[in-house]
Structures are given as structure tokens and as C-alpha cells.
Amino acid sequence: MPPLAALPRFVGLLAVWVVIGGADLKGLAVGAATAAIATWFSLRLLPAGVLQLRPLPLLGLLLRYPLQALRAGTEVACRAFDLRLSPGFVPYAPVTAPSVQRDAFLTWSSLQPGTLPAGEDEVSGAVAIHALDVTQPVAASMAAEEARFARIFRG
């Protein structure tokens, strides 16, 4: 296994240990060993180099997220009160080819305002996006979000 490519994961998992368990010295030794095992498991599930993240765009995306969550939650809350709905599916063909990046984008988009991916169409390959209001520009906002999301990956 390429040790350098696995380093960010190891550091991240060690950070999880410190966050949940504190940073006392004896615990940290166990934490480092645990993070090493967890990194090995992680590499088995998702080989190194498949997901190469760029830190700054990632940070930008994450910082924008609370606002998006607020918009998404408020929209659903409003519709729960006045029941102004026209639910339905909007087909959306992602630009990204089927890959971990695409799976990650779809999971991400399910947390964005108004959109919920509901599986691919067997024939066309487009993803059926469920929306509470199909009169909104659903496909356009998906495309904008996908462009934003694509920037967090290298290459």
C-alpha cells in the first residue's frame, strides 16, 4: 500500500479517536494502533487514489452547507404547513461518469434543498430526482451543485 496516499486517512481517523477519547498519552498509543487498523480496512473498502480531495474547495463546500441545510429545512417546513405540493420525478443525467465521485455527489444532493435522488432509470441511465415541487428548476440546480461539487476532487 502506498504509505503517503494513506496518510490523510490515518490522520483523519486518529483525529476521530482524539475527538471522542481525548488526547492522553496512553490512550493515544492505542488510538494510533486503532487508526492504523482502520486505515487498512478503509483502503480495502476504497483503494487509495480513487478519491483525491482538494482541501480548499472542500472547505468552501462544507462552509456553504449550513446555509443550504437551512434553505432545505425551511422549504420542507413551509410546505408541511401549507401543503403546496406538486411532487414528481425529474430525470437528471449527471455529467460525472458512474464512480465513487458520482455516488458521493448523489448522496450530497439528497441533503440539498428540494432534491432527492431515487435511483437510476434502467433504460436511459438518468437519475430520477424526486422533488416536492416539479415546477422549480430542479435540473438546473442539480447541474449547478454538481459543478460546485466536482471542484473538490483532483484530476
Residues 90-149 that bind another protein (CB under 8 A): 98, 100, 102-104, 106-108, 110-111, 113-114, 116-119, 128, 130, 132
User: d(Cα 100, Cα 96) in Å, to the nearest integer?
Assistant: 10
Q: Report the amino acid identity of residue 15.
A: A
Contact pick of 8, 57, 60, 89 for another protein (by CB under 8 A): 89
| Element containing residue 63 per DSSP (H, E) | helix 55-82
CB of 107 to another protein, least distance (A): 5
What is the CA 147 to chain-centroid distance, rounded?
Answer: 14
Q: 3-class DSSP state for residue 119?
A: strand
CB of 66 to another protein, least distance (A): 7
| Element containing residue 90 per DSSP (H, E) | strand 88-92
Q: 3-class DSSP state for residue 116?
A: strand
Contact pick of 3, 4, 20, 97 for another protein (by CB under 8 A): 20
| Cβ atoms 86, 133 nearer than 8 A | yes
Q: Which residues bind another protein (CB under 8 A)?
A: 9, 13, 16-23, 27, 30-31, 34-35, 37-39, 41-42, 44-46, 66, 69-70, 72-77, 79-81, 83, 85, 87, 89, 98, 100, 102-104, 106-108, 110-111, 113-114, 116-119, 128, 130, 132
